Amino acid sequence: MSVTQPGIDTPLTGFVGEVLEALGDLVVDIEQCGPRRGIARIDPARTIEAAQKMSAMEGSRLATATGIDVRDGIDVLYHWAFEPQGAVVTLKVLAARPDLAVDSVATVIPAANWIEREMHDLLGANFRNHPDMRRLILDDSWPEGVYPLRKSFDQVADRPPLPPNQSPPDVDLNAKRQGRS
Amino acid sequence: MALTTWALRKSLWVYHVNAGACNNCDIEVLALLTPRFDIERLGMILVGSPRHADVLAVTGVCTRQTMPRLQEVYMQTPKPCVVLAIGSCANAQGIFTEAYHMGATVDQAIKAVDPEAIILYVPGCPPKPEAMIAAAAKGMEFLKTL
């Protein structure tokens, strides 16, 4: 079976093709469609609808989500695993600049809750209507508004200062660290 | 040699601190307790509180989040106290040295609260239990000189 959606050149083949076809016009671009791996970009305004459709499919599971700092904003990738078929379908949503916001799917998929918090911590993507957007993995002394996995963040030079020592500061740890790096 | 020091080196009690390790060193520390290595024959025993401990077995890179807690645990340990920095990460942060979430190294963090701290380095990724036993033996030798 091989069909082509209007406006999209990649032929939809096999099980992954069926999944992407079922999403209909939510899909705006297909980057890859192989027998067991599919990557498609979906309409940023309709992420919740896409998540509902995917979770309603038989055998689907939100395996994880990842974020990438790209030129136009932050790409949020939801990886859906279909274990009976051994396939993985990735749905890309762009959280566009300047507000880097995208609708949270945690309201309909509870499994997305923590991974969206992590993307907010590390990349600064904003998830609209997220049920519990507290800090998840950065440490307590980390300043607000510094996102360590952005491409503009230098892992050594841009590190925030360490929390103060517990006792009278005989040694300034921050000074030592500057000298080392 | 003071009576307390003499008694101390006969029975070193160990408190294990994980300061952000990947768990591999922790598994090797656990192997120390098994009959094959059996550190209890040397009078050493793992205890559940730093207030009961003479040795801190520190594994892990010492992240920003654990650094103040490691310093707090060190200060709660009665002195003299031997710190075993176990593994490449605890020695010099290993492959994570240029990562955004690093605190100071274990020795720097502890020397910041006590410049006179006794720190023994056990290199390896993970170090063998034999290496940790050798470090503990060196710690006992050092305590004789106090």
Instruction: Give the domains, in start order, of chain B with CATH numbers.
Output: 3-144 (3.40.50.12280)
Is the CB of B99 less than 8 angstroms away from the CB of A155?
yes
DSSP count for chain A of H helices, then E strands: 4, 9
Of the candidates A181, A142, A161, A123, the residue with the CA atom closest to the CA atom of residue B65: A142
Instruction: Report residue A133 CA to chain centroid gap.
Output: 15
Give chain A positions within 8 Å (CB) of B113. 165-167
ipTM: 0.74
pLDDT in tens, B52-63: 999 999 999 999
Q: Is the pLDDT of residue B122 over 60?
A: yes
**Distance (Å, whole) CA A57 – CA B68:** 48
Is the CB of B113 less than 8 angstroms away from the CB of A148?
no
- Secondary structure of residue B121 in the 3-state scheme: strand
Is A163 near chain B, with CB under 8 Å?
Answer: yes
Of the candidates B103, B46, B51, the residue with the CA atom closest to the CA atom of residue B72: B51
Interface of B with A (CB under 8 A): 63-65, 67-68, 71-72, 75, 98-104, 108-109, 111-115
Is the CB of B71 less than 8 angstroms away from the CB of A165?
yes
> Which of A33 and B38 is assigned the larger pLDDT?
B38
Best A139, A149, A155, A158 residue to mutate vs chain B (most B CBs within 10 Å): A139
Is the CB of B104 less than 8 angstroms away from the CB of A173?
yes
pLDDT in tens, B67-115: 999 999 999 998 888 999 999 999 998 899 889 998 889 999 999 888 8
Interior/surface letters B108-125, b for 16+ CB within 10 angstroms, e for the rest: bbbbbbbeebbbbbbeee
Query: pTM of the predicted model, to two decimals?
Result: 0.83
Domain boundaries, chain A: 2-180
**Distance (Å, whole) CA B42 – CA B55:** 13
Q: In terms of DSSP bridges, do strands A87-96 and A73-82 run parallel, antiparallel, or are they unpaired?
A: antiparallel
User: For position A181, what pLDDT does the model report?
Assistant: 45
* Mean predicted confidence (pLDDT) in B39-54: 90
Is the CB of A167 less than 8 angstroms away from the CB of B71?
yes
pLDDT in tens, A9-18: 667 778 888 8
User: For position B129, what pLDDT does the model report?
Assistant: 92
Closest chain A residue to the Cα of B103, Cα to Cα: A162
Which of B65, B75, B98 shows the shortest C-beta gap to A166?
B75
pLDDT tens, chain A, 181 aa long: 455 555 566 677 788 888 888 888 888 888 888 888 899 999 999 999 999 999 999 999 999 999 999 999 999 999 999 998 899 999 999 999 889 999 999 999 999 999 999 999 999 999 999 998 999 999 888 998 899 999 999 988 888 888 877 655 556 667 666 555 4
Please name the residues in contact with B76: beta carbons below 8 A apart, sequence gap of 6 or more.
Answer: B50, B51
Is the CB of A167 less than 8 angstroms away from the CB of B113?
yes
User: For position A1, what pLDDT does the model report?
Assistant: 46
Of the candidates A166, A162, A167, A164, the residue with the CA atom closest to the CA atom of residue A181: A162
User: For position B19, what pLDDT does the model report?
Assistant: 92
Is the CB of B115 less than 8 angstroms away from the CB of A170?
yes
List the beta bridge partners of residue B17: B58
Which CATH architecture best describes the domain A2-180?
2-Layer Sandwich (3.30)
